[in-house]
Amino acid sequence: MRSALAHSGMLRIDHVMGLFRQFWVPDGFPGSAGAYVRYPAEDLLGILALESRRHGAVIVGEDLGTVPHEVPAILAAWGILSSRVMYFERSDEDGFHPAASYSPRALVTATNHDHPPLTGFFSGRDLEIRSEIGLIRSTEELEALRAERERSRAALLHRLIVEGLLLDVDAGCVEKVCAAAHAFLTRTPCPLIGISLDDLAGETDPVNLPGVGPDRYPSWSRKMHRDVQEILADP
């Protein structure tokens, strides 16, 4: 913790549930033979609080996925911010949630490292990659996922238009849609916003495909098509 905070004003803890419990599977056994192993959460949270105060740093916990209902309140009590990802802030009935409905105690991002960049989301490039490497096993499955993605795209465009951040005539321009999506993040009450370099660079391929080995996809080693200086110089 001290080393990590020595040069930063914020630390994001991926899978913050690891402070509370982890699911262990004995070597050579199926997942059904596994069990949750509890960790000394109060002690670990206390260390986080102590070191963050010493360094004047903010702590963010990635509390997405399977999280017991009491955990967000515990994190808030310790002053740890939650995580909100625009892709996930939606419901089947109402579509993408309004910006004003987001938590005032969270770091908000459009996407994250386990999902495609915005440009890739709109082009469906991630679906093509998953099909190419065998994660999508049939044409029927691919077409069903493409149809679902089209519904998601339409729902996101609708939210951006309703918020007054995008014109109907610009809905087909990926650059303007991405700009509108980031403007949407600024409208939320979240105190911190995270913007991906991949989104600024217009990358389409995901930086990571969870659970896929390097022989099938170069997770965490895919090079960007633009360098940092070029991105910074682009208005």
Give the model's confidence band at 94: pLDDT under 50 very low, under 70 low, under 90 confident, else very high. confident
Can you give the pLDDT at residue 73?
Answer: 92
Can you give the pLDDT at residue 234?
Answer: 82
For 183, counting Cβ atoms within 10 Å of its Cβ (0-12 exposed, 13-18 middle, 19+ buried), the class is middle
Give the model's confidence band at 93: pLDDT under 50 very low, under 70 low, under 90 confident, else very high. confident
Can you give the pLDDT at residue 177?
Answer: 96
Instruction: For residue range 147-178, list pLDDT tens digits in order.
Output: 999 999 999 999 999 999 999 999 999 999 99
Average pLDDT of 169-188?
95
- pLDDT of 212 strictly over 80: yes
- pLDDT of 235 strictly over 80: no
Average pLDDT of 193-219?
94
Give the model's confidence band at 92: pLDDT under 50 very low, under 70 low, under 90 confident, else very high. confident
Average pLDDT of 34-54?
96
- pLDDT of 219 strictly over 90: yes
Average pLDDT of 75-96?
94
Instruction: For residue range 110-143, list pLDDT tens digits in order.
Output: 999 999 999 999 999 999 999 999 999 999 999 9
Per the prediction, the chain carries an average pLDDT of 94
User: What distance in Å separates the CA atoms of residue 51 and residue 53, rounded to the nearest whole number?
Assistant: 5
Domain locations in the chain as residue ranges = 1-80, 84-235
Instruction: For residue range 23-36, list pLDDT tens digits in order.
Output: 999 999 999 999 99
